[in-house]
Amino acid sequence: MRGIQPGTKLILHMDKLGIVKDSAVLDVKEINPTTGEITTTAAISATEVFEAAYTTVSTGIVGLNSAGLPDAPVAPPINRPDSFIIKAKDAGSWGKTLKIQSSHESASRAEFDPGSPVTGVAGQNTFSLKSTAGFYKGAWVEIDTGAKKRYRQVLNISGNALTVDGEVLALADLTPVAPATKTFVSTTEFRLSVSFEGVTEQFSGLTLANVPGRYYLDRINNGSSLISITGAPPASTHPFLFPIGADGQQLVLDPATGTDGTAAPDAQDYKGVDGGPNKRTGIKALEDIDQISIIAAPGATHQVVQNALIEQCERLKDRFAILDPQPKTDNKPPGLSDIQSQRNLYDTKYAAIYYPRVMVSDPLTNLNIPVPPSGHLAGVYARTDIERGVHKAPANEVLRSITGLEQKINKEEQDILNPSPVNINVLRDFRDAGRGYRVWGARVITSDPDWKYVNVRRLFIYIEESIDQGTQWVVFEPNDEPLWQRVRRTVSAFLTNVWRDGALQGRKPEEAFFVRCDRTTMTQDDIDNGRLIILVGIAPVKPAEFVIFRIGQWTGGSSIEEG
C-alpha cells in the first residue's frame, strides 16, 4: 500500500505457475484505511480473476515533492531509477539462476496523538505518537491520514515525540480525512530475499539510509553468501527508490553476463599485468609475496609464460622456476628432440626443466592421464628442503602420488639429456630395482658451469636472502668500524651454522667462507652516501670453487651483486 492514495495509477500483475497476466491501468478512487480495500474508478473485467497469493501491485510512483508527497500520478509500467547494483557473489554462469525478490515492509506502526501539539519550522517538525516503540533515527516514515500520504525522514525521537524533516507541518496535515478516523505513522523498510538451488537468504528491515543494523550495503555484503552490492549508494534514500522489479516484486540479474570462464587463459593471461601493488595479475601477482622461493605454472608451457617465470626470478633474485615439457599437438608426448629444442630457448641461472610428464589417476574417469611434473617437483623441492636442507640437491628423490611416467627414459637417453650443456633433468622409472619413480637430475638450464646445479643456485638464494634480511638492522646506524665489526660477527655466525649443516665445504669455517666489511669493501663516497657494503665468499658443496657475491645495505634499500 506504500504511496497508494486517491489518484494513484496502478497495475495488477499475476504470475501463477508460469501463466502471467496484467490488468489495465487502474485509477484509485478511495482506500478503506481499516481494511486496506481499494476502490478504483473503473471496474476490473468480470472475466479477469487476480488471485491474491500470486498478484503484485505496481504503481507509477518514482519520487517525492518538496512536501514529501508522491509525485503526480504516472501510469505504470515505468522505468524506475537505479537504486544499487546487485551482483552474484562469485563469478560464473551460476549467477544467472539466482532468484531475487524485493518487497516493502514496515517495522513499526503507531497512531498519531491528536491531543498533542504540532510544532516546527521548515526542516524540523515535531509531533507525538501514541508510542514510538520500533521507530528509529534516520527512518523514513509514512504519514497516512486516509487521503494523502506524506513521507518524511526522522531526525530525532524524544519519548513519544517524533521530529521529522521537510516543509512545515500543521495540525491539519496530520488530521484524519473521512472515512478515516485515525492518522497512522509507519516506518518504511524493504525486504530482499535471494534463492539459489533450494537455499534462500532473507534480509528484512533494510533501509537505503545509513542506519546502523539496517543499512542495506552492510547487511547484504556482510551477510550474504550469494550476492554482493556494488556501485555508489543512491543520492536520495526515500522509500520509492527501494529496489523493485518490473512486475512489482521479482528482480532479474542481467542474463547476458556471467560465464564459467570456459575460454582457456592464453599466454598473456598467465603472464599477467603489472597494475601496481596488490593489483597485479597472473604470474606478476606472485611479486607481491616476498616469502615465495619456488614458482611454476603447471601446464603453461608457452615460451611467453616460461619467459615470464624466468624474468621474475632473475629480477627479484629470491626465487627459482620449475619448467614443464611442452606436449605436442593433441597433447601427445614430446620426444627427445622436442624437449631439447624447448630447452634451447632458455639460458638462465634461475630455472630448471624436467622431462617427461607424470601420470596420475583422473578422479572423474579413473583413467591414468599425463600431467605437468612441475607441481610434483615443487613438492620434492619443499620436502628436501625440510628433511635435508636447501643445499641438498632435489634429485634421487622419490616422486609420490603418481601412477607412472608418460615415457620411460633409459640410461642412454639420460646421458643425452642430462649432462652439460643440455642440462635437462630426467624423471626415471627404477621399479625394476625396487626404487620406484625418481628425480634423476639437478641441473639448471644455464651455459655457466658455476651455476649448473639446482641446489647450488638455491643455496645462494637462501644465503643471500637470509643475510639481506638479517642485516636490515644496520640501516640508519652510524657507518663506522664498531658497526662493521658487529656486521662481520653477525654474518659469520650465520654462515658458521650453514657450514655445520653441511652446506659448505671445508674442515673449518675459514675454509668454507669469508666475510669482509671494512675500508676495503667501501670507499669514502660509499660511506658519505649511506652505503654499507659486505663482501661474502662461500664454497658450496658443489662446485668446489669460491663464488663471490656482494651484499650492500644503505638508507635507500639493498642490492646483491654476484661474481
Q: Which three cell numbers stand for residue 508?
A: 673449518
481-500 and 454-470 helices, crossing angle to 10°: 140
Q: Please determine, for residue 216, whether its predicted confidence score (pLDDT) is greater than 90.
A: yes
Q: Residue 130's CB: how many other CB atoms inside 10 A?
A: 15
pLDDT at 33: 65
Q: What is the pTM of this model?
A: 0.60
The residue with greater pLDDT, 257 or 551, is: 551
Confidence band for 265, pLDDT divided at 50, 70 and 90? confident
Q: What is the pLDDT of residues 164-200, one digit of tens each?
A: 999 999 999 999 988 888 999 999 999 999 999 999 9
β-bridge pairing 320-323 and 351-355: parallel
CA dist 372 and 294 (Å) reads: 16
**How distant, in Å, are the alpha carbons of 88, 124, 170, 173, 255 from that of 184?**
39, 19, 16, 12, 42
- How deeply is 209 buried, as exposed, middle or buried, from its count of CB atoms within 10 A (0-12, 13-18, 19+)? buried
**CATH for 267-455?**
3.40.50
Q: Does residue 248 carry a pLDDT above 70?
A: no
Averaged pLDDT, 135-155: 94
Contact predicate 117/160, CB 8 Å: no
Q: Out of 2.40.30, 3.30.1490, 3.30.360, 2.30.130, select the CATH number for domain 109-187.
A: 2.40.30
- Residue 558 confidence (pLDDT) above 90: no
DSSP string, 147-214: S-EEEEEEEEEETTEEEE-SS---HHHHS--TT----EEEE-EEEEEEEETTEEEEEEEEBSS--TTT
Asked if 207 and 189 count as a contact pair (C-beta separation under 8 A), the reply is yes
- Four-residue CA torsion sign, 93, 97, 103, 105: negative
Q: What does the alpha-carbon distance between residue 498 and residue 513 come to, in Å, rounded to a whole number?
A: 10
H or E element that contains 457: helix 454-470
Contact 514, 523 (CB under 8 A): no
CATH architecture type of domain 471-562:
2-Layer Sandwich (3.30)
Q: Residue 466: pLDDT band by 50, 70, 90 thresholds?
A: very high
pLDDT of residue 46: 63
Q: State how far the Cα of 56 lies from the Cα of 479, in Å rounded to an integer.
A: 80
Residue 254 has pLDDT above 90, yes or no: no
Residue type, 53: A
Note the pLDDT of residue 358. 98
- Comparing 362 with 234, the larger pLDDT belongs to 362
What residue segments make up the domains of the chain, in order of their start? 1-79, 109-187, 267-455, 471-562
- Count CB-CB contacts under 10 A for residue 84: 16
Torsion angle in degrees (nearest 10) through CA of 340, 344, 350, 354: -10
Helix (H, G, I), strand (E, B) or coil at 420: coil
The residue ranking higher by pLDDT, 58 or 181, is: 181
Rounded-to-integer distance, Cα 167 and Cα 294, Å = 68
d(CA 466, CA 560) in angstroms, rounded, equals 12
Residue 55 pLDDT level (bands cut at 50, 70, 90): confident
pLDDT at 64: 85
Q: pLDDT for 335-359, tens place per residue?
A: 999 999 999 999 999 999 999 999 9
Mean pLDDT of 242-252: 58
